């Protein structure tokens, strides 16, 4: 079997099983585990799979856009355990007396219970944070602007103008996808990127909160580089054995 045929067979197995181990692939294709590891490295380089501990998982093809992305409320439960781990680590970075920006997105919601007892000021365009967060110590400032019902957030020139009035100790930003290889983060909607950019300009420290399900997922629009962030908090299942530069893996 040629290498190209073998890699197609690997992708077929990943389509059927989502995650497949090196040992199972080696037995199925009657080759050595070392050969499978080389094949997986090539497929990962082509962004057709992500290596995980002991095996690999398939990357779904296509570009995420505002027309194909799920409603925010439908995404709340997806990869929730990973989002909680990320949120807990992010909360440890926040100190009493700070002013922080909370972006839209489901990655931000698990932060609520971890920071409700902190004496901080929160500025956010996230409608769910504005309406559901309860705290006796933290203050919440709601940013106005054009509401996108699907994303439960405000965007547009008014939102960006309001952001210019604040200075943040930390800005917590979300994304729809990211590529370590390309040093890029993606969003499904152009309007949301302008708010993220402005929040980063106003912040002493920019922190991206994401999870491994978004690794190598391309969005409709990208402008921010991963290297523009001071830290990227993500769960460990990114397909890399060691934390890439700038990543905090939990």
Give this prediction's pTM: 0.74
Return per-residue pLDDT of the chain as tens, 250 residues.
Answer: 788 889 989 988 988 887 899 999 999 999 999 999 999 988 877 767 778 788 888 765 555 555 555 566 667 777 889 999 999 999 999 999 999 999 999 999 999 999 999 999 999 999 999 999 999 999 999 999 999 888 899 998 899 899 999 999 999 999 989 988 889 999 888 888 889 999 999 999 999 999 988 888 877 788 799 999 999 999 987 555 566 778 998 8
Domain 63-249, CATH:
3.40.50.1360
How many other CB atoms are there within 10 angstroms of residue 61's CB atom?
8
Instruction: Report d(CA 245, CA 14) in Å as an integer.
Output: 28
Max CA distance (Å), the chain: 66
Q: Helix %, strand %, coil % for the chain, to 5?
A: 40, 25, 35
For the chain, what are the domain ranges?
3-58, 63-249
- Are 199 and 168 contacting, i.e. CB atoms less than 8 angstroms apart? yes
Question: Tokens 């925010």 appear where?
Answer: 72
pLDDT computed for residue 65 by the predictor: 54
- In the chain, DSSP assigns E strands to 19-21, 49-52, 55-58, 63-64, 99-102, 121-124, 139-142, 146-148, 153-155, 168-173, 177-179, 184-186, 203-209, 218-219, 231-234, 247-249
CATH 3.90.1300.10: does it fit domain 3-58?
A: no
């Amino acid at each position: 079997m040629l290498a190209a045929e073998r890699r197609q067979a690997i992708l077929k197995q990943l389509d059927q099983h989502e995650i497949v181990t090196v040992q199972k692939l080696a037995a199925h294709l009657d080759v050595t585990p070392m050969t499978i590891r080389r094949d997986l490295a090539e497929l990962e380089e082509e962004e057709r799979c992500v290596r995980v501990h002991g095996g690999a998982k398939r990357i779904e093809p296509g570009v995420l856009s505002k027309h194909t992305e799920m409603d925010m409320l439908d995404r709340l439960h997806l990869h929730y355990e990973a989002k909680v781990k990320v949120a807990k680590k992010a909360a440890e970075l926040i100190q009493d007396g700070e002013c922080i920006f909370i972006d839209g997105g489901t990655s931000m919601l698990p932060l609520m219970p971890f920071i409700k007892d902190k004496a901080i000021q929160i500025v956010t365009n996230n409608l769910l944070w504005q309406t559901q967060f309860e705290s006796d110590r933290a203050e919440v400032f709601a940013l106005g602007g054009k509401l996108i019902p699907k994303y439960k957030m405000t965007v547009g020139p008014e939102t960006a103008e309001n952001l210019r009035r604040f200075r943040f100790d930390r800005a917590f930003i979300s994304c729809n996808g990211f590529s370590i290889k390309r040093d890029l983060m993606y969003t499904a909607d152009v309007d949301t990127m302008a708010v993220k950019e402005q929040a980063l300009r106003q912040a002493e420290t920019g922190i991206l909160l994401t999870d491994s399900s978004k690794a190598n997922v391309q969005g409709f629009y990208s402008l921010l580089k991963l290297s523009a962030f001071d830290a990227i908090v993500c769960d460990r299942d990114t397909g890399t054995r060691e934390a890439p530069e700038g990543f905090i893996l939990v």
